[in-house]
C-alpha cells in the first residue's frame, strides 16, 4: 500500500444531490444508491485494508457467512426491543426485522468484529455524549455510518467515523484542507457529531427524526414533513423519505439490539489489537511521519493509525501547533530529541521536488548519496547471516537509504564489506555499538523477540498435496492457484488463524491426493 507523496491529493467533495437544503451548513448526505448492508460490508473490509489487519481472515468469514443462520422467532426480537431502555424511540416492524436478519440472525461474519472494534471507540463516544447530555445509545451511530473506520469515505463524499460531508464538517468547526481532515480525527469529529446531533434534536424535539435528519439533512426531513401534511412521526414520514433514510433508523435499531443482546446470540468481541497506551504531544514545527520513523523508530503505519487526520503523513505546524498521538514509551525521547526530529532531513521531506515513497512498514526515500544534514557517519562490517533488511532495521534507516549511501544497485552484500551508515547526531552513542554486538543482541536492540523457539514443522504426509510458501504469499493468493480449494480450506488444514501466520518456506497442506 505504497503512497507517493506528490500525488496524494484527496477530492473532498465528490457529488451534489437533489433536494439538498442549500440554506443550512448542517447538510449531510443523500442516498448513495446502494443498500446500508452493502455500505457496512464495504466499509468494514476497507478498515481491515487501511489498518493492515488480517483481510484474508475477514474474507474467509464473509464468503461463508450466509451459511450461519440462528433461527429465532421474530416475536423474541420484538419483545426484547421493547425492553431496551433509551430516550430514543425504538420500534419493531418488518423493516427492522430485515436488518435484524442481516446483523443478528446471519451476523456471525460481522457481529464479533463490530463488538471488537467498539472496545476501541465506545469509551470516547460515551464520554463526549455524556458531556453534551444526550443519549449514550447514539454511540452506535458510527457503526452504521462508518463500520467504526475513522478513514471511511462514502461514494457521496462523507468522511470519518461520523461520516460528515465537507460543508457540514466545516460548519461544525472542523479543519479540512489539503493536509488535515479533522473529520477523520476520532476526538474532534465525535465532539462535532455531539453538537450536531444536539442541534438536530433541538429542531424536532424527537430523537428518531434527529437521526433521520443526521442521515438526509434537515432540508430533506422538512420537505417530507410538508409533503406528508405536517406529520412528525418517523414511521408516518417513511413513504416520503429517500430510500437510504428509510433504511437508516431500522438499521440503527438492529445495531442497538445487536450490542444489547449479543450474549443471547453467543456473540463475543473478536480480539482486535489496537494501540491503547498513547498520549498527545503538541507539534510546533512541520513534521513528517518518516522523521519519527527515522529518529524514534515509530513506524509510519503506527503514526497513521493513531493520527488518521493527517492525510499526507505531514503535521503542517507552520503557523500553529498541532496535536500528535504517540505511544507513551516514546514520550520522553520525543521531548529529548524534538529538535533533532524536526531537523532530520527536513530539506528532503519538505522539498516537493524530491521523491519520497512511504509504505505502511518502512520508509523508502530516494536520497542523495551525500551525508544528510544533522547526522554522523558510522561504519558497519557485514557478517555472516546479515542482510540489508536486517542492517537497516538495526540502525533505524530504510533499505533505500542504506543502498544509496553505499552505491548498492541490489540487495546483495558480502561478508567483510564495510558499509557507511548515517544516523542522527543525538543517537550516535546508541548506534555506535551496533557493529560490535552479536546477532541476538542486535535483534533485541531493534525490538525483535529472540527468545521464542521456532515452530516445529509437521512431517510431510504423502496423502496430501503440499505448497511451499514464498515471499508475498497470502492464503487467498495461494487458493487461486488451486481450483476448488478455498481460503477456509487452507487455513483449517494448516491450523492458521490469520494471514500473518504464514512463514516463507512453510509447507502447506492443500488437498488430499
Of 419, 364, 437, which Cα lies nearest the Cα of 397? 364
Of 158, 175, 161, which Cα lies nearest the Cα of 128? 161
pLDDT of residue 5: 31
Burial profile 157-170: b = 16 or more Cβ within 10 angstroms, e = fewer: bbbbbbbbbbbbbb
Tell me what the mean pLDDT of segment 475-494 comes to: 77
The verdict on residue 505 lying in a domain is yes
225 and 115 fall within a common domain:
yes
Q: Is the dihedral of CA 227, 229, 234, 235 positive or negative?
A: negative
pLDDT tens figures, 97-114? 999 998 998 888 889 999
Edge-first strand order for the sheet with 3-4 is 3-4, 356-358, 363-365
pLDDT of residue 499: 46
Residue 129 has pLDDT above 90, yes or no: yes
pLDDT of residue 258: 96
Do residues 110 and 44 make contact, with C-beta atoms less than 8 angstroms apart? yes
329 and 401 fall within a common domain:
no
213 and 95 fall within a common domain:
yes
470 and 429 fall within a common domain:
no
The verdict on residue 458 lying in a domain is no
Tell me what the mean pLDDT of segment 465-475 comes to: 76
Q: Is the dihedral of CA 140, 142, 144, 149 positive or negative?
A: negative
57 and 82 fall within a common domain:
yes
CATH number of the structural domain spanning residue 96? 1.10.530.10
Residues 53, 55, 56: CA angle, nearest 5 degrees:
130
Residue 27 has pLDDT above 70, yes or no: no
Q: Is the dihedral of CA 371, 373, 379, 383 positive or negative?
A: negative
Distance, in Å, from the CA atom of 31 to the CA atom of 215, rounded to the nearest integer, reads 9
Distance, in Å, from the CA atom of 286 to the CA atom of 275, rounded to the nearest integer, reads 24
Per-residue confidence at 265, pLDDT binned at 50, 70, 90? very high
Tell me what the mean pLDDT of segment 360-372 comes to: 53
214 and 359 fall within a common domain:
no
Tell me what the mean pLDDT of segment 46-70 comes to: 45
291 and 338 fall within a common domain:
yes
Of 407, 421, 426, which Cα lies nearest the Cα of 344? 426
Domain boundary among 451, 473, 494: 451
376 forms beta bridges with 423
Sequential DSSP letters for 205-247: S-HHHHHHHHHH-HHHHHHHHHHTTS---HHHHGGGS-HHHHH
Stronger pLDDT, 86 or 293, i.e. the higher one: 86
Residue owning grid cell 488463524: 497
Residue owning grid cell 433504511: 247
pLDDT tens figures, 384-432? 878 887 898 898 887 778 887 887 767 778 888 899 999 888 888 889 9
pLDDT of residue 446: 76
pLDDT tens figures, 32-44? 434 555 555 555 5
The verdict on residue 324 lying in a domain is yes
Q: How many domains does the chain have?
A: 4
Tell me what the mean pLDDT of segment 299-321 comes to: 92
Tell me what the mean pLDDT of segment 175-204 comes to: 97
Give the CA count within 13 Å in the CB-facing half-sphere of 130: 6
Q: Which residues are catalytic?
A: 145
State the pTM of this model.
0.63
pLDDT of residue 32: 40
Alpha helix ranges (H) inside 70-179: 74-83, 94-100, 111-131, 141-146, 166-171
Distance, in Å, from the CA atom of 133 to the CA atom of 136, rounded to the nearest integer, reads 9
Burial profile 288-326: b = 16 or more Cβ within 10 angstroms, e = fewer: bbbbbbbbbebbbbbbbbbbbbbbbbbbbbeeeebebbb
Distance, in Å, from the CA atom of 325 to the CA atom of 302, rounded to the nearest integer, reads 10
Do residues 420 and 379 make contact, with C-beta atoms less than 8 angstroms apart? yes
179 and 290 fall within a common domain:
no
Contacts of 306 (CB under 8 A, 6+ apart): 275, 278, 325, 326, 327
Give the CA count within 13 Å in the CB-facing half-sphere of 54: 20
256 and 156 fall within a common domain:
yes
Range among 357-361, 370-374, 386-390 with highest mean pLDDT value:
386-390
Alpha helix ranges (H) inside 351-398: 388-395
The verdict on residue 359 lying in a domain is yes
Which domain covers residue 505, as residue numbers? 464-512
Do residues 185 and 308 make contact, with C-beta atoms less than 8 angstroms apart? yes
Give the CA count within 13 Å in the CB-facing half-sphere of 57: 19
Do residues 445 and 433 make contact, with C-beta atoms less than 8 angstroms apart? no
pLDDT tens figures, 2-25? 332 332 222 222 222 222 332 333
440 and 486 fall within a common domain:
no
pLDDT of residue 43: 57
pLDDT of residue 440: 81
The mean pLDDT of the chain is 80
The verdict on residue 12 lying in a domain is no
Distance, in Å, from the CA atom of 290 to the CA atom of 348, rounded to the nearest integer, reads 11
Tell me what the mean pLDDT of segment 471-500 comes to: 72
pLDDT of residue 135: 97
Tell me what the mean pLDDT of segment 173-197 comes to: 97
Do residues 256 and 138 make contact, with C-beta atoms less than 8 angstroms apart? no
Range among 53-62, 216-225, 400-409, 502-511 with highest mean pLDDT value:
216-225
298 and 441 fall within a common domain:
no
Distance, in Å, from the CA atom of 207 to the CA atom of 87, rounded to the nearest integer, reads 8
Residue owning grid cell 450461519: 68
pLDDT tens figures, 73-87? 899 999 999 999 999
Distance, in Å, from the CA atom of 201 to the CA atom of 137, rounded to the nearest integer, reads 14
Share of the chain above pLDDT 90, in %: 49
CATH number of the structural domain spanning residue 426? 3.10.350.10
331 and 372 fall within a common domain:
no
Of 40, 87, 335, which Cα lies nearest the Cα of 197? 87
Amino acid at each position: 500500500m505504497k503512497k507517493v507523496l506528490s500525488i496524494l491529493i484527496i477530492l473532498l467533495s465528490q457529488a451534489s444531490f437533489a433536494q439538498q437544503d442549500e440554506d443550512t451548513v448542517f447538510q449531510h448526505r443523500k442516498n448513495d444508491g446502494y443498500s446500508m448492508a452493502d455500505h457496512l460490508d464495504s466499509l468494514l473490509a476497507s478498515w481491515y485494508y487501511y489498518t493492515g489487519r488480517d483481510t484474508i481472515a475477514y474474507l474467509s468469514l464473509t464468503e461463508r457467512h450466509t451459511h450461519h443462520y440462528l433461527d429465532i422467532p421474530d416475536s423474541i426480537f420484538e419483545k426484547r426491543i421493547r425492553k431496551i431502555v433509551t430516550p430514543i424511540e425504538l420500534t419493531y416492524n418488518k423493516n427492522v426485522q430485515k436488518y435484524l436478519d442481516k446483523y443478528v440472525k446471519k451476523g456471525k461474519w460481522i457481529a464479533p468484529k463490530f463488538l471488537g472494534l467498539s472496545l476501541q471507540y465506545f469509551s470516547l463516544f460515551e464520554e463526549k455524549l455524556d458531556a453534551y447530555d444526550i443519549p449514550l445509545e447514539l454511540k452506535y451511530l458510527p457503526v452504521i455510518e462508518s463500520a467504526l473506520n475513522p478513514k471511511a469515505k462514502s461514494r457521496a463524499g462523507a468522511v470519518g467515523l461520523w461520516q460528515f460531508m465537507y460543508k457540514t464538517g466545516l460548519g461544525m468547526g472542523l479543519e479540512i484542507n489539503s493536509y488535515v481532515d479533522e473529520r477523520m480525527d476520532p476526538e474532534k469529529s465525535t465532539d462535532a457529531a455531539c453538537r450536531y446531533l444536539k442541534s438536530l434534536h433541538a429542531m424536532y424535539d424527537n430523537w428518531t427524526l434527529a437521526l433521520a435528519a443526521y442521515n438526509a439533512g434537515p432540508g430533506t426531513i422538512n420537505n417530507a414533513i410538508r409533503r406528508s401534511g405536517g406529520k412528525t412521526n418517523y414511521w408516518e414520514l417513511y413513504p416520503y423519505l429517500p430510500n437510504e433514510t428509510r433504511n437508516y433508523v431500522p438499521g440503527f435499531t438492529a445495531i442497538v439490539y445487536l450490542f444489547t443482546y449479543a450474549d443471547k446470540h453467543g456473540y463475543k468481541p473478536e480480539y482486535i489489537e489496537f494501540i491503547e497506551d498513547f498520549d498527545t504531544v503538541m507539534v510546533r514545527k512541520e513534521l513528517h511521519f518518516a522523521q519519527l520513523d527515522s529518529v524514534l523508530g515509530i513506524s509510519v503505519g503506527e503514526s497513521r493509525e493513531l493520527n488518521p487526520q493527517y492525510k499526507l503523513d505531514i503535521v503542517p505546524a507552520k503557523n500553529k501547533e498541532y496535536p500528535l498521538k504517540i505511544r507513551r514509551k516514546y514520550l520522553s525521547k520525543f521531548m529529548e530529541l524534538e529538535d533533532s526530529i524536526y531537523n532530520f532531513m527536513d530539506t528532503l521531506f519538505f522539498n516537493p521536488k524530491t521523491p519520497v515513497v512511504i509504505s505502511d512498514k518502512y520508509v523508502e526515500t530516494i536520497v542523495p548519496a551525500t551525508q544528510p544534514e544533522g547526522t554522523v557517519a558510522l561504519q558497519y562490517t557485514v557478517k555472516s547471516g546479515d542482510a540489508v533488511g536486517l542492517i537497516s532495521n538495526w540502525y533505524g534507516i530504510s533499505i533505500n537509504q542504506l543502498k544509496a549511501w553505499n552505491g548498492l544497485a541490489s540487495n546483495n552484500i558480502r561478508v567483510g564489506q564495510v558499509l557507511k551508515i548515517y544516523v542522527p547526531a543525538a543517537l550516535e552513542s546508541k548506534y555506535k555499538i551496533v557493529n560490535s554486538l552479536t546477532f541476538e543482541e542486535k535483534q533485541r536492540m531493534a525490538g525483535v523477540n529472540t527468545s521464542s523457539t521456532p515452530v516445529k514443522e509437521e512431517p510431510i504426509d504423502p496423502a496430501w498435496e503440499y505448497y511451499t510458501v514464498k515471499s508475498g504469499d497470502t492464503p487467498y493468493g495461494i487458493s487461486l492457484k488451486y481450483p476448488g480449494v478455498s481460503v477456509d480450506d487452507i487455513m483449517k488444514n494448516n491450523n492458521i488463524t490469520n494471514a500473518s501466520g504464514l512463514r516463507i518456506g512453510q509447507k502447506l497442506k492443500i488437498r488430499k491426493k
